[in-house]
Amino acid sequence: MAKINIVGVGPGSPDYVTPAARKVVQNAKLVVGAQRSIDLFTADIKGEKVVLTAKNLNDVLRQSAECIKVGENVALLSTGDPGFSGLLHTVLESGFFNSADINVIPGISSIQACAARLNISWDNTRLFTFHDEVSDEEKEKLISAVKCGRTILLLPNSRGFAPKDIASFLIELDIDKKTPVYICENITLENEKITSSTLGKILGNSFGSLCVMVIKADSEVKG
């Protein structure tokens, strides 16, 4: 039975693309993804490829559903892991696919890579993503987690809830300006950069869109 394979492509470096991901792409009749994701599979793509954009998303998903109906496998490339701020939610909500049509190939997320860089055991952390929206409900959950002393691994929103905005939000709600903060930019890429700072010190700083923010890191984090 043909599937739409939602393929986690890792945080950006080809070194973090799994063999399972490459195998699925090699066997797909249609490969869909953002250009930087497609570039990771230049030698693997044997079928048709389509660059995914915000404007053509619905049309591409409809095309993918038609491919499945005629027995052709599709590889939909999702940055990081499809299940965390990835394309799995989008596919499930699209209405074009049944559960039986979907196969998920997990990938290494930027959250995982950031935790590894900072020696964080992340089974007791709180994970947040503000990529899709910045809701009051999620912001309330964030402030609650920080006040409980939890280590936070967070994907900011560069257009409305960037690291400096998050710092300002937390400080206004009486979180200590000296709370440790780490910003991991372009994780696994050649221009990777890790900034060790505090909430107060990043108020005037800007960071790239490909970043992970760590808040209230304790002794689990190396300096």
Contact 79/9 with Cβ under 8 angstroms? yes
Closest by alpha carbon to 117, among 182, 162, 175?
Answer: 182
Task: Give yes or no for residue 217 having a pLDDT over 80.
Answer: no
Mean pLDDT of 207-211: 93
Question: What tens digit of pLDDT does each residue of 153-176 get?
Answer: 999 998 889 999 999 999 999 999
Residue 201 to residue 195: CA distance in whole angstroms: 11
Confidence category of residue 223, pLDDT binned at 50, 70, 90: very low
Q: What is the pLDDT of residue 198?
A: 96
Percent of the chain at pLDDT exceeding 90: 89
The dotted CATH code for 4-108 is: 3.40.1010.10
Strands laid side by side in the 4-8 sheet: 48-51, 30-33, 74-78, 4-8, 102-105
pTM beyond 0.75: the answer is yes
pLDDT score of 117: 96
**pLDDT tens, residue by residue, 64-116:** 999 999 999 999 999 999 999 999 999 999 999 999 999 999 999 999 999 99
Domain locations in the chain? 4-108, 111-215
The CATH number of domain 111-215, selected from 2.40.10.10, 3.40.50.300, 3.30.950.10, 1.10.10.10: 3.30.950.10
* Nearest-angstrom CA–CA distance, 215 and 174: 15
pLDDT recorded at residue 221 = 44
